[in-house]
Amino acid sequence: MNYLKRCRNIRVGNFRFLNLIIVFCIFVSCSNENKLEKEIAEIPVDFDIERFDQLFAQLTPESLPELKNNFPFLFSEKYEDSIWFKRSQDTIQQEVNKEVEKVFLDLSAEKKELHSLFQHIQYYFPQIKVPRVVTITNDVDYRNKVVLSKGLLVVSLDTYLGKDHHFYESIQKYLRQNFNRQNIVSDVASVYAKNQVGPIRERTFLGNLISFGKEMYIKDLLLPSLSNARKIGYTEEQYKWAEVNEDQIWRYFIEKQLLYSTDSELMPRFMYPAPFSKFYLEEIDKEAPDRIGQYIGWRIVASYVENNNVSLQQLLIADAETIFNKSKYKPKR
């Protein structure tokens, strides 16, 4: 009995010691993260949000020349000045102006989020300069909500009026889900992440998984305080579903031998915006959020970074198979 008691005490002692080690590691990790975030918060970033949308709404024949001079990239030379003035007076354009002004009378919250985002971009990608930021309206062109080109960042505010806004009644619900102002900073980060990852070079399903996974991992770095659901553009319920069913999703990909498939139909099924991810299983398709492949790729890339001593640049140039093979990825059960 005394021997068994001693063994039990040893096991309890070892368990407590292991718990102490885990707590210590978490404490050190959090301490390092806080130190890093404090360092990033000291990076100087200077920019303004230029409200072209407001200036265009107040357009007069007298103010047009100066507006064209200040924003030449927004005026095509093939149109005469009268066309621009006529457009500014169009009843639909005026309604758009009014609705945008209601929602975006003040952009201080967005500027604060963008300020932090640009600081993180400067830290991880110091070669990237802080952009000139311009807000516009653009006929609710939701395919080009955010455009980044040659140091210019253009945000179309009329695509962020709220998912239930009457402007969006004819647009599919799964697209409207992210037409909220809270999605602006995430969409901006996505554009930067996509630029760093570059075009998808591998035609396999795995190649696409990893490419999107790299983009999501970069968003982790650039938006550390943003929820995972907002980063990927899910509701909290959709993200929870992905977490709970991660093992089942992965087993489906493996059992169907999808990883090295080059079937182009897999992309709209699991990678692109859609009403849901298409497993062709009635009990799953009813609940599965779209782009579930992006979620799995995100988890694989995060596992690769966690289990290998690699720099961000090494991650970006690593091929999909290397990342997958060295990731030691095991989905949550």
Q: For residue range 131-145, what is the model confidence (pLDDT) as tens digits?
A: 999 999 999 999 999
Structure confidence at residue 285 (pLDDT): 85
Cβ proximity of 321 and 206 under 8 Å:
yes
Size of the chain in residues? 333
**Which tens digit of pLDDT belongs to each residue from 271-322?**
999 999 999 988 788 899 999 999 999 999 999 999 999 999 999 999 999 9
| Both tokens assigned to 276 | 């849901």
Structure confidence at residue 25 (pLDDT): 44
Cβ proximity of 152 and 71 under 8 Å:
no
Pick from 71, 72, 80: nearest CA to 51: 71
Structure confidence at residue 11 (pLDDT): 52
Encode the chain in three state secondary structure.
Answer: CHHHHHHHHHHHHHHHHHHHHHHHHHHHHHHHHHHHHHHHHCCCCCCCEEEHHHHHHCCCCCCHHHHHHHCHHHCCCCCCHHHHHHHHHCHHHHHHHHHHHHHCCCCHHHHHHHHHHHHHHHHHCCCCCCCEEEEECCCCCHHHCEEEECCEEEEEHHHCCCCCCHHHCCCCHHHHCCCCHHHHHHHHHHHHHHHHHCCCCCCCHHHHHHHHHHHHHHHHHHCCCCCHHHHHCCCHHHHHHHHHCHHHHHHHHHHCCCCCCCCCCHHHHHCCCCCCCCCCCHHHHCCCCCCHHHHHHHHHHHHHHHHCCCCHHHHHHCCHHHHHHHHCCCCCC
Structure confidence at residue 6 (pLDDT): 54
* Domain locations in the chain as residue ranges: 49-195, 198-327
Residue stretches of the chain with pLDDT short of 70: 1-32
Cβ proximity of 196 and 175 under 8 Å:
no
What global pTM score does this model have? 0.89
Cβ proximity of 47 and 130 under 8 Å:
yes
